[in-house]
Amino acid sequence: MKRGPEAAIALALAALVAWSFHVRWTMLTASPFPLGVDGYFYPVELRALLETGHLAYPASPLVLWLMLPLAAITDPITGAKLGAALFGALIALPAYGVGARLARSRAAGLVAAAVATTSTGSRYMTVEFVKNSAGLTIALAALWLVLRACERPARGRIAAALVAILAAVLAHKMAAALVIALAIPAAILEAVARGKLRGRRLLQVVAVLVLAGAVALVLGTLIPERLLSPADLVLVGDLFTTTPRWLAPALASGNLELTMGYEPLLAGITGALVLATSRGDKRSPGDTAARLVAHGSAILAIVIAVPWLDVGDAQQLGFRLRVIAFVPLALCAAILVARAAAQLPRHRELATVALAAVLVVARVARTPQRLDGEVVTHPALVTGLYALSRHVPPGATLVIPERHITFMAAWYLRAPTSLTARNVAHPVRVLPLNWHGVGSPLDDALFAARAAPGIPPPVGGHPSHPNGLVLIPEATWPWLLQHEAPWGLERWGYWPTN
């Protein structure tokens, strides 16, 4: 057997992973501080694991466990950055495996690997959604192992697929949803098509799945921060809006619009083409599962590109779906490249390799060094937190309405933090300037409170503005709310968080 093509593909994948890791690592280390809204979340969690063996905040644990050796060798911040770059770059491998099986072409698998690795959404997730990024790598690995088991259902392959599915569930909610929606139905339908599941055996499998689903719902209800839960269905109810955005941006909030290289729109187009050009002939073992995954990926791509998807809030599901558009885009692109090359039967593999090479070079060449919407830690915030540290009373919990600064405070001050003051015994509020704005009524009230008798004065820590990062004793908060009534009670009384 000739090993030349296999070796060439292996070298191409290794080069793609190495290049992708370099790009991501360079991006993450451009700042000495963690990047992203939740950038400090990962060092806080890793430090807690190293010091206590437990997470500081409840979360899906697997990705943090995988990062732990990197943090132990280096430090929590460096370990988190290494993990983000490594697990983001490794998506090339399972994307190749799934793409090659869906397209039935190794060269087309390289197309899937290239799209998944070089996409704007994939690199954006390395900065902003690290657990989700690693979770998608694990989810695609699970999908690949399920497809392998469907082709040849040996015990070892089935065991590996089951372990990978469990890993996806423990990695991230999005990864769990992707695997549950695609891999499990594919495996069941493949077994039915082979005649392995019918009659009583099929009913038994359905009963086991229903029982497992019930157990998962109970666990999700008990630990909703770690697993998919019924509460997550609320996000689906807010998925659509009446205002269409025809270019399918990932986020359109205020003056900020993230297009993600128009990957959501491209995903919808490729998904529609996959469905339009699909054929229903059965060719070999595993084809039923592969066809279901291909069609499921195409449908997901189309849903992601629906113009009425609500992307006005970064905390909602629409934004999260648009960011992962590169996953169905990669798989659909591999299928389409293979189908296009199949029109040249005498030179099918050569045409596929040529199309794959052109796509890889084109995507690598247009990779920007900086991402739109990238959240960077300003040194003044770090300085401000250190300045406030000596004013935090013992046993107090810092109540901060912005997640980014909440995790920063937990890292630098080692103090308990919370987004809201509800159920907090000894709250002390910390407000950033962008929460209320220069010259706002609250800004003026903070200045007035410093001279007001009978209340503890607010303390500013920001080096550029007295209220840039201000600590407010809880006894002073009611005075601030009522000092400029009715604006205080109407706007700030409900403590909006971001």
Structure tokens at 23: 């790009």
**Among positive and negative, which fits the CA dihedral 142, 167, 133, 226?**
positive
Model confidence pLDDT, tens digit, residues 65-87: 999 999 999 999 999 999 999 99
Model confidence pLDDT, tens digit, residues 253-310: 777 788 888 999 999 999 999 999 887 645 565 688 889 999 999 999 999 999 999 9
Q: Residue 332 pLDDT more than 90?
A: yes
Confidence of residue 94 (pLDDT cuts 50, 70, 90): very high
Strand runs (DSSP E) across 238-311, as ranges?
251-253, 256-258
HSE-up (13 A, CA, CB side) for residue 74: 14
Confidence of residue 10 (pLDDT cuts 50, 70, 90): confident
Q: Measuring CA to CA, which residue among 366, 373, 347 is closest to residue 36?
A: 373
**pLDDT of the residue at 1:** 41
Of residues 421 and 430, more confidently modeled: 430
- Calculate the average pLDDT of the chain: 86
Confidence of residue 143 (pLDDT cuts 50, 70, 90): very high
HSE-up (13 A, CA, CB side) for residue 243: 6
**pLDDT of the residue at 159:** 93
DSSP 442-488: HHHHHHHHTT-TTSPPPEE--SS-TTSEEEEETTTHHHHHHHTTTHI
Output the furthest CA–CA distance in the chain (Å, rounded). 89
Q: 249 in the Ramachandran plot: left (φ > 0), alpha (ψ -120 to 50) or beta?
A: beta
